[in-house]
Structure 1
Amino acid sequence: MTDVPQRQPVAAHHLLNFIDGRWAPAASGRTRTNRNPADLRDRIGEFTESDGADAERAVAAAATALPGWRALGPIRRAAHLTALGRQLADREEEFTAAITREQGKLRAEARAEVARARAVLEFTAGQARLLGGVTAPAEEDRTFAYTFRRPLGVVGLVSPWNFPLAIPVWKVAPALLSGCTAVLKPSPLTPLTAALLTDAAQRAGVPDGVLNLVQGDAAAGAALVAHPQVAGISFTGSLAVGTAIHTAGAPRLLRTQLELGGKNAVIVLADADLDRAVDAVLHGAFGQAGQRCSATSRAVVDRRVRDAFLARLVKRVAALRVGPGDDPDSEVCPVVDPVLCGGGPAARPGLPEGCYVQPTVIRDVPWDSELAQEEVFGPVLAVVDADGFDDAMRIANCRERGPTGPAPPPPARTTASSRRPPRR
């Protein structure tokens, strides 16, 4: 096994929380090890592990900063977002390297994420002149009716690991533009990128207390949800955690914004250009090792072309090169943390010990099985057979959770593997 490559050390203050304009350790003194999923020998650092006491301090700082930030007005607040966008542009390579190192994605994917974050900041700053209210006709004489916008107040922003820069930015940017102050609680799997974002915001002139960073796991997030001064929570992650947040906040009518993933389908019909269909499925299912809520997790394929489609697809998938994100020859990155058993670990000469999983295609998947219904968040594609367009559309739209509601009960005297979703 080769030696661990020498990498840029993490600045000591980036291992800490950022509260009221100062970097500080967790009140408990506890830390959590962050490792590179492409090479588990590479210890990125010991990041602070926060709990409710740290969340309390961050919320207090945000509440103190709220009146001044609210009074600044949207146009001047937008100037800070524009300055933050310049910070990301100037530090593009630093952010790209951090995302690849702690999340695992390919350098090209990480660089695209930095570009997306900059675009979000540019778009959001442009909304500053659109935040006015409206005037409305009044029923009473000598009455002037109008509306105006006010910020919610302090908001908690809980972000996932799969887009450790872009998703925090698209939570932070609208919150700050609207006059809210914020506590960002990133995933404990990607603390460095969030620390760099917070550092960039400070350098962009965002006042102390307006954006606070609390590192850690569930304890810190739960404390934000329970805090009476937190007026809203934005969360991206699993259905289970999103449900818990919504339930916990309901008694006090906490405003929640929840993005909880999906089970996306590509439909391949009999008249499809199969080579182009394979290209689309290959990118959608195995880009970023399938760790996207927009990943192609199901291919619903007309039986008449199923075998021809699979022959092309399997050949391409088997040839994909799994490897570290900073290797220019890699086509599929590692997953973010170790798979303890199963999963078909990828192996090739010279590949370091990491969280590598072989891209996987599973055929003959029943439309109502767990694999066809639930998000996998890995390089796994379920192939479901369909009998033409109408059948494919019913399968794609029939999920236990989603816009179509619960899946219908099975017809009498049929099995789950053989029944077809009924017409709606």
Structure 2
Amino acid sequence: MANVPGREPTAAHHLLNFIDGRWSPAESGQTRTNTNPADLSDHLGEFAESGGVDVDRAVDAAAAALPAWRAMGPIRRAAILAEAGRLLTGRAEEFARAITREQGKLLREARGEVARSRAVLDFTAGQARLLGGVTAPAEEDRTFAYTFRRPIGVVGLVSPWNFPLAIPMWKVAPALLSGCTAVFKPSPLTPLTAVLLTEVFHEAGLPDGVLNLVQGDVAAGEALVANPSVAGISFTGSLPVGTAIHTGGAHRLLRTQLELGGKNAVIVLEDADLDGAVEAVVHGAFGQAGQRCSATSRAVVDVRVRDAFLDRLVARVAGMKVGPGDDPASQICPVVNTARLDAALAAVAGAQRDGGKVLCGGGRATGEDLPDGCYVQPTVIRDVPWDSELAQEEVFGPVLAVVDADGFDDAMRISNSVKYGMSGTIFTASQSRAFEAIDRFEAGMLHVNRPGVGAYAHLPHVGAKASQYGPPECSPQVWDFYTEWHSACISY
């Protein structure tokens, strides 16, 4: 990494925040240990455990930088984003290995995340010449009427640990292009990737104070919501935390963009390509150990093909190798920490109490070739009641509930029975059923005869019901969060 004036090499400032263009420790001096979930004896370093004083300093820096950054205009701002993309590409392998080491995902999954992040950055920078308004007819002679956007001001960007680069990227990039300045608070479980991302943007020429990094947990997040100079919070994470952010800022009309949980179904009908459905379910349920908001956590299968589907699925899953993300032979990575491991095992036990039958997995993965890490066996559970806890609540682990359905209408009812609505998928040979399902799914991202996870860098990443509040991300609609509309009438 090139030396940057006023900064120390990366290894020396891992424990620091980045506020107003300078690396600094938390005011309290407190730190938190960052641990590799694949090997709990592997510590990546000590990172700042920040509080309200640190957040307020960062907000003040962002507020001071706002007028000049807004005046720069989107086209010049986009040039900095483009340079950040070039730097990211040059450090792609460094990012991927950092993601794998601190989050746990397979190295090939981490490389895919870096590529997706670059695609999001490229798409966002390309929107610079489209951030205009419209002209409108005037009701009077010799009057020009038009609309335009302005940035809302200082924004707080609060990101989760499951995509420690991609999700921050699809918050940071549009925030900056819009002309907002930002305080970025990543998950305390993935602080290293956040440091690297912050480095890239500032090496690209971002002025001091425009992007500030504050590491920490609940205290930092609460301070960000409470600070009256913060105009909006973009948050990705759990429903309870998102609800707390929204209600915590409601008294001052804080603008919020919330991407929350999911309990996503893949419907497999009687006429489905079973081999294709099995591959899609394996990818959606066990990729990244099931730790995605769009993960396939329910397979809703027509009873007429259930046994044939399960025979194929269990044969496929039972042979998958659990291991460290940097082992090329691994097919399923560890979960992110011991809390997620315990939650996955508790979900399995609860499903068994409700009558579910474990067909494969169900426990902690162990073996002489595995270090002491957070490994969960890929688990398939059949005979799961549609209204049981496992079929209704998010697990965020490699645990798949298989729910019986009696035909198309019953499958749609079961799919829509949950409070969430992130993703919906159907496997069928019927074009009519496919389009009817798209019309009836109560979810934001819909798929037919393909894996039901995510979307493209230029399509809205959006949920429905309790999965989403506010404008979607990764799309032109994101500007409805980071900017506000104005109108002007000029008589001449």
Tell me the TM-score normalised to structure 2 length: 0.79
SS in 2 for 1:350: coil
Match of residue 294 from structure 1:
294
**CA displacement, residues 31-76 of structure 1 (integer Å, 9 cap, x when unaligned):** 0001000000101001010000000000000000001100101000
| Contact 2:235-2:259 within 8 A present in 1 as well | yes
- Over residues 196-230 of structure 1, what are the superposed CA-to-partner deviations in whole Å (9 max), with x where a residue is unaligned? 00011111111100000000001101111111000
1: distance between equivalents of 2:18 and 2:392? 40
Matches within 5 A, 1:39-188: 39-188=39-188
Determine if contact 1:84/1:200 at 8 Å carries over to the other structure: yes
Would you say 1:23 and 2:23 are equivalent positions?
yes
Q: Equivalent residue for 2:266? A: 266
Structure 2 residue aligned with 1:392: 411
What's the secondary structure of 1:155's corresponding residue? strand
Distance 1:215 1:406 in 2: 30
Distance 1:303 1:346, change over 3 A: same
2:45 partner letter: G
Q: Does 1:14 align with 2:14?
A: yes
Q: Tell me if 1:383 matches 2:398.
A: no
Amino acid of the structure 1 residue aligned with 2:389: E
| Greater displacement, 179-188 / 264-273 | 264-273
Return the letter of the residue paired with 2:411: A
- Kindly state the Cα deviation for residue 276 of structure 1 after the two structures are TM-superposed: 1.3
Cα offset, 1:341, TM superposition: 7.5
After superposition, residues 295-374 of structure 1 pair within 5 angstroms as 295-338=295-338, 339-340=341-342, 343=345, 344-374=363-393
Conservation of the 8 A alpha-carbon contact between 2:27 and 2:50 = yes
Q: Report the secondary structure of 1:253's partner residue.
A: coil
Provide, for residues 119-174 of structure 1, a one-character-per-residue CA deviation record: whole Å limited to 9, x for no partner: 11100000000011111112233322111111110000000000000000000000
Change (3 A) 1:155 1:342: closer
Does structure 1 conserve the Cα–Cα contact (< 8 Å) formed by 2:14 and 2:45? Answer: no
Q: Between the two proteins, what is the percent identity of the paired residues?
A: 79
2:237 corresponds in structure 1 to 237
Aligned to 1:222: 222
Taking the aligned partners of 1:280 and 1:312, their CA distance within structure 2 comes to 12
Quick one: distance in 2 between partners of 1:211 and 1:293? Answer: 26
Shift of 1:406: 8.9
The one-letter code sitting in structure 2 at the alignment partner of 1:364 is D
- In the alignment, the residues of structure 2 paired with residue 262 and residue 138 of structure 1 have an alpha-carbon distance, to the nearest angstrom, of 46
Aligned partner of 2:153: which letter? G
Instruction: Give the direction of change, closer, same or farther, for the CA distance of 1:332–1:401 in structure 2 (3 Å limit).
Output: closer
CA drift of 1:325 comes to: 0.2
Q: What are the equivalent positions in structure 2 for 1:206-217 lying under 5 Å apart?
A: 206-217=206-217
- Greater displacement, 346-355 / 226-235: 346-355
Mapped contact 1:15–1:192 kept (Cα < 8 A): no
* 1:10 to partner: Cα distance: 6.3
Indicate if the aligned counterparts of 1:10 and 1:44 stay in contact, CA closer than 8 A. no
Q: CA deviation at 1:348?
A: 2.2
1:86 partner letter: R
Gaps of 5+ in 2: 1-8, 346-362, 422-441, 444-463, 467-492
- List structure 1 runs of 4+ shifted beyond 3 angstroms: 401-407
Shift of 1:342: 7.0
CA distance in 1, matches of 2:153, 2:112: 32
1:285–1:296 Cα contact (<8 Å) kept: yes
The answer to whether the 8 A contact 2:59-2:154 is kept is yes
For the residue of structure 2 that corresponds to 1:228, the secondary structure is coil
C-alpha distance in 1 between matches for 2:53 and 2:343: 36
Residue in 2 aligned with 1:33?
33
Matches within 5 A, 1:270-285: 270-285=270-285
Take 1:171 and 1:359, find their aligned partners in 2: how far apart are those partners? 32
Which has the larger displacement, 214-223 or 141-150?
141-150
Shift of residue 394 of structure 1? Answer: 1.2
1:80 touches 1:206 (CA, 8 Å); kept in 2?
yes
Give the 3 Å change call, closer, same or farther, for CA 135–33 of structure 1 in structure 2. same
2:225/2:245 contact within 8 Å kept? yes
Determine if contact 1:69/1:180 at 8 Å carries over to the other structure.
Answer: yes
What are the superposed Cα offsets for residues 296-323 of structure 1, whole Å, 9 maximum, x if unpaired?
A: 0100000111111111111111111000
The letter of the residue matching 2:399 is V
Aligned-partner Cα distance in 2 for 1:274–1:395: 20
Query: In structure 1, how many angstroms separate the alpha carbons of the residues matched to 2:342 and 2:465?
Result: 32
RMSD of Structure 2 on Structure 1 (CA): 1.5
For residues 400 and 150 of structure 1, the distance between their equivalents in structure 2, rounded to whole angstroms, comes to 35
Contact 2:344–2:399, Cα closer than 8 Å, also in 1: no
Gaps of at least 5 residues in structure 1 are 1-8, 408-424
Aligned-partner Cα distance in 1 for 2:299–2:66:
48
CA distance in 1, matches of 2:343, 2:275: 34
Aligned with 2:329: secondary structure? coil
Indicate the residue corresponding to 2:461 in structure 1: none
TM-score by length of 1: 0.92
| Superposed displacement of residue 401, structure 1 | 4.0
Q: Structure 1 residues 72, 341: CA separation in 2 closer, same or farther (over 3 Å shift)?
A: closer
Q: Aligned partners of 2:160, 2:315: CA distance in 1, in Å?
A: 33
Higher strand share goes to which structure? 2
Residues 105-132 of structure 1: CA distance to partner in whole angstroms, max 9, x if unpaired?
A: 0000000000011011100000000011
Aligned residues: 399
Using the TM superposition, give the Cα deviation of residue 98 of structure 1 relative to its aligned residue in structure 2, in angstroms. Answer: 0.2
